[in-house]
Amino acid sequence: MLLVITYSRSARESLRNICRAHEESIVRQFGRAALFEATEFGAFQALRLREKHDDAVQVERTRPFNEFGAVPAAVREAATEYENRDEPAIPYAIFASGTDHPSKAQMQESELRSPGSVGDP
């Protein structure tokens, strides 16, 4: 899908107008952002917005998130086990210390495995 984010009042207004007029091509709208369908028509609307409002419009292409491909098992397990912990008040750092769970810093430094690199057409 195409994630379209607006950064000015006029761009936000244009986005709302497009969402109203082309409901069938809009997957989801949130305030000043929206998800357009990944069709040429969705791209057409996104490009129109960028043409009109220049850098007050950001367009990103999303891809489905498959945690089994993109995320190491240790991270998935840590998430599951932390959410099912016995003591709700325990911070993750303490929960993870002395275990095989990755630390917050380790996870922050590790980029997700990606099927392509930045700028994938």
The footprint of other proteins (CB under 8 A) covers 7-9, 12, 32, 54-56, 58, 117-119, 121
Closest CA relative to residue 35, chosen from 79, 13, 2: 2
| Minimum separation from the CB atom of position 101 to other proteins (A) | 30
Task: CB nearer to other proteins: give 34 or 78.
Answer: 34
| Minimum separation from the CB atom of position 58 to other proteins (A) | 6
| Minimum separation from the CB atom of position 88 to other proteins (A) | 33
| Minimum separation from the CB atom of position 47 to other proteins (A) | 11
Task: CB nearer to other proteins: give 89 or 118.
Answer: 118
Report, in angstroms and rounded to the nearest whole number, the Rg of the chain calculated over CA atoms.
20
| Residue 13: other Cβ atoms inside 10 A | 13
Alpha-carbon gap, residue 108 to 41, rounded angstroms: 36
Q: Which amino acid belongs to residue 53? A: H
SS3 87: coil
Instruction: Decide if 36 contacts 4 (C-beta within 8 A).
Output: yes
φ/ψ (deg, to 5) at 25: -100, 0
Task: CB nearer to other proteins: give 47 or 93.
Answer: 47
Task: CB nearer to other proteins: give 33 or 107.
Answer: 33
